[in-house]
Structure 1
Amino acid sequence: MNALRATIGYVLDIGYSLSRRFPDPPQTDYRRADVRSLRHDLFCGDVYLADTKADREVSTSWGWVPVLDFAWALCDIVEQLDQDPRGSRSAHRQYAEIDFTESTDRMLFERRFGWVDVEADWMPVEEAPLTFGHRLLRREARDFLHDLIADLTDMHDGLADNPALWTLQAKYPRIGN
């Protein structure tokens, strides 16, 4: 364990931008959109995870990433990385990835002890991964999901009435500081 990690305060920012090149179909009934549409067909743009203290980020720049799917998958990944009953005491490495279905690119996550390294296939090989505490990543991923849903429901009539979003928000509630 790198003792330096324990003394440095990592600051995580997760964000998105919606694409103007890949707008949602104008006839979309957001109230009745199914999970597949919500996850794969709507709300395209780009996403990033940033270490604001080190001024570094892992980001996409393709314009077609389904941002709700990314937020959903990120919450799933954080839980997947917490399967070892020893939690932050575990030296066993746990791996997970988000694969971007329209390409061969992946965002990779590796947890050891209470730390998660985040890198991507498209990062230069010599560039070190971003590192965040698992608890911080869990809290910020859930905050990002809820903030994104709030933004999207403000922009799209009927989306707030979609039962799939209610289920998603119940599955991943916000976590207090």
Structure 2
Amino acid sequence: MIDLGYALSRRFPDPPQTDYRQADVRALRHDLFCGDVYIAEGERELSTAWGWVPVLDFAWALCDIVERLDQDPMGSRASRPQRAELDFTQSTERLRFTRRFGWVEITADWAEDESALTVPHAELRREARDFLHDVVADLADMHDGVSDNPVIWNLMARFPRV
């Protein structure tokens, strides 16, 4: 079972004057809601400990990546590996995703000693979308106006829960 989670940072708070209703894509993806994230499968975990990872951007990018890994017309029968990377923009670190058949291997540059997390693609899709919706719900509870932002509306419509 895949577990996705996050913790917002107290060291990098959002500016107090932020109007979340009007925040643009850049602000939502790169400037707000910083913290740490993790992906776990069973006892194994890939997590950041930097405090500055944009949590909403991570959830958004993960949903994009899962869809990109599903572009081969053969779907889960495709033997050719399909690859994608999630680049952490404030560093050189990356999460790498490789799909073969119906399975996705996830590795992290900062945890090269660790073996890859191997998860079913369909489960990763479901969990990534659930994670996105949970993050947005949490942010909407914490900050007035997040749920009124048209960018958030479009994001939620693009990646509905599975």
Same fold at TM > 0.5: yes
**Aligned residues: percent identity?**
70
Residue 126 of structure 2: aligned partner = 139
Letter aligned with residue 36 of structure 2: D
Residue 35 of structure 2: aligned partner = 45
**1:128 Cα shift?**
1.2
1-structure distance, mates of 2:147, 2:131: 17
Letter aligned with residue 72 of structure 1: W
2-structure distance, mates of 1:58, 1:110: 15
Alignment of 1:22-171 (within 5 A): 22-52=12-42, 55-125=43-113, 127-171=114-158
2-structure distance, mates of 1:160, 1:89: 39
1-structure distance, mates of 2:79, 2:45: 26
User: Which secondary structure state, in structure 2, belongs to the residue aligned with residue 20 of structure 1?
Assistant: coil
User: Which secondary structure state, in structure 2, belongs to the residue aligned with residue 122 of structure 1?
Assistant: helix
Cα displacement string for residues 130-176 of structure 1 (whole angstroms, at most 9, x for unaligned residues): 0000000000000000000000000001111000000000000000x
User: Unaligned stretches of 5+ in structure 1?
Assistant: 1-10
Cα displacement string for residues 8-50 of structure 1 (whole angstroms, at most 9, x for unaligned residues): xxx1000000000000000000000000000000000000000
Larger Rg: 1
**1:124 Cα shift?**
3.1
2-structure distance, mates of 1:37, 1:46: 17
CA RMSD after TM alignment: 0.6
1-structure distance, mates of 2:151, 2:112: 37
TM-score scaled by length of structure 2: 0.99
Letter aligned with residue 116 of structure 1: V
1-structure distance, mates of 2:78, 2:115: 22
